[in-house]
């Protein structure tokens, strides 16, 4: 069981968020017609904003807005279409919630416009290794940055943790060269991105090894295919399974949880946080 230290993730527009005693929930808002579990539900600006505000009221500290599905067989959208989907939502949310706003994109121009519209964080599923100009945008604007591991479009190393280090250390080199300070970065091991069920489960089991990278960790298991493979559930029925993975990964030291269903994960993580606090208290008592 991981011992969680306290730190702050510095993000854009002069904001920061504490990471430590309490798990932070990042709510998924897909402004897309084809996302794997909720495609089309929040395709309009009004529907997306209503969903985002509901997620914030249920306990999400971060709202992650995406305009292109990242499922393996999804259609690629143009940068202009992506921006037309996400920018009005960001602009509408700005000033309506204290939750931080994250833009889920791997495109530098979308990232630049989104931060200008009010986004605090850039969440890049290619870890700066598709459009590394995102690093310069983050450095110039002071935005927060989430670097995700992916196995797509390349040959992976056979060991799941060795491949994490191989990929994420390269992403961190790109970020450093662009001038992004480490207190603005969190890392996401990319559950489900070119990983089969066995690899995802092994990644969960060995999650604690990722702390050697020395940065806060985000877990994005929500409704993923491997959860369905284990539980036998369809995508929209995987929230209980997701909550189980959230608890396990919280105990392994994850700080941020990117989820579809905020309420069930909030409750599950509250139990995990209470147990971690009690464990820490017992350890302190034994040392006294």
- List, as one string, the DSSP characters of 60-128: -SEEEEESS--STTPPP--HHHHHHHHHHHHHHHTTT-SSEEEEE-S-HHHHHHHHHHT--EEEETTTT
- Rounded to an integer, the average pLDDT of 81-110 is 96
Question: Per the domain annotation, does 97 fall within a domain?
Answer: yes
Q: For 61-84, what is each residue's pLDDT tens digit?
A: 999 999 998 766 667 899 999 999
- For 162, other C-beta atoms within 10 Å of its C-beta total 12
Contact status, residue 254 vs residue 230, Cβ threshold 8 Å: no
> Looking at residue 41, what is its pLDDT?
62
* For residue 36, pLDDT beyond 50: no
Q: Which residue spans within the chain are E strands per DSSP?
A: 7-10, 16-19, 24-30, 62-66, 100-104, 121-124, 144-148, 185-188, 218-219, 256-259
Please give the average per-residue pLDDT across 229-244, as a whole number.
97
**Considering the domain boundaries, does residue 276 fall inside one?**
yes
pLDDT number for residue 32: 85
Segment 202-222 mean pLDDT: 98
pLDDT tens digits, residue range 196-209? 999 999 999 999 99
Q: Is residue 31 part of a domain?
A: yes
Query: Is position 156 annotated as part of the catalytic site?
Result: no
In a domain, 50, yes or no: yes
pLDDT in tens, 264-277: 999 999 999 999 99
Q: How many helices (H) and strands (E) does the chain have?
A: 9, 10
In a domain, 2, yes or no: no
- Which domain, by its residues, includes 46? 7-283
pLDDT at 99: 98
Q: Is residue 75, in this structure, part of any structural domain at all? A: yes
Of the residues 184, 224, 238, 250, only one is catalytic, namely 224
Q: Could you tell me if residue 143 is inside a domain?
A: yes
What pLDDT is recorded for position 74? 66
Asked whether residue 85 carries a pLDDT value surpassing 90, the answer given is yes
Mean pLDDT of 2-24: 90
Q: Can you give the CATH number for the domain in which 128 is found?
A: 3.20.20.20
Q: Which listed residue (107, 238, 258, 266) is catalytic? A: 258
Active site residue 224: yes
When comparing pLDDT for 32 and 211, which is higher? 211
Considering only 42-51, 170-179, 190-199, 251-260, which range has the smallest mean pLDDT? 42-51
Q: Which secondary-structure segment (H or E) carries 216?
A: none
Task: Give domain status of residue 1, yes or no.
Answer: no
Model confidence, pTM: 0.94
Percent of the chain past pLDDT 70, that is, above it, reads: 93
Query: How many structural domains does the chain have?
Result: 1
């Amino acid at each position: 069981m991981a011992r969680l230290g306290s730190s702050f993730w510095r993000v854009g527009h002069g904001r920061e968020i504490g990471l430590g005693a309490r798990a932070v929930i990042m709510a998924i808002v897909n402004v897309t017609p084809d996302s794997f579990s909720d495609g089309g539900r929040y395709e309009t600006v009004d529907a997306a904003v209503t969903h985002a505000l509901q997620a914030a009221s249920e306990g999400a500290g971060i709202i992650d807005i995406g305009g292109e599905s990242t499922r393996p067989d999804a259609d690629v959208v143009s940068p202009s279409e992506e921006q037309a989907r996400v920018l009005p939502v960001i602009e509408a949310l700005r000033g309506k919630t204290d939750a931080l706003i994250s833009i889920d994109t791997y495109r530098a121009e979308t990232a630049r416009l989104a931060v200008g519209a009010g986004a605090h964080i850039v969440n890049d599923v290619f870890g700066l290794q598709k459009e590394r100009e995102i690093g310069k945008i983050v450095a110039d604007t002071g935005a927060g940055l989430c670097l995700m591991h992916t196995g797509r479009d390349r040959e992976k190393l056979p060991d799941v943790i060795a491949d994490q280090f191989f990929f994420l250390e390269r992403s961190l080199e790109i970020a450093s060269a662009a001038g992004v300070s480490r207190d603005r970065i969190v890392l996401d091991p990319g559950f489900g991105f070119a990983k089969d069920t066995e690899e995802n489960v092994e990644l969960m089991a060995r999650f604690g090894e990722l702390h050697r990278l020395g940065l806060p960790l985000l877990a994005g298991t929500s409704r993923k295919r491997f959860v369905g493979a284990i539980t036998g559930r369809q995508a929209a029925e995987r929230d209980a399974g997701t909550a189980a993975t959230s608890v396990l990964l919280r105990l392994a030291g994850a700080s941020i949880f990117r989820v579809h269903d905020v309420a069930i994960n909030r409750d599950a993580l509250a139990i995990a946080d209470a147990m971690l606090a009690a464990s820490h208290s017992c350890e302190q008592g034994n040392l006294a």
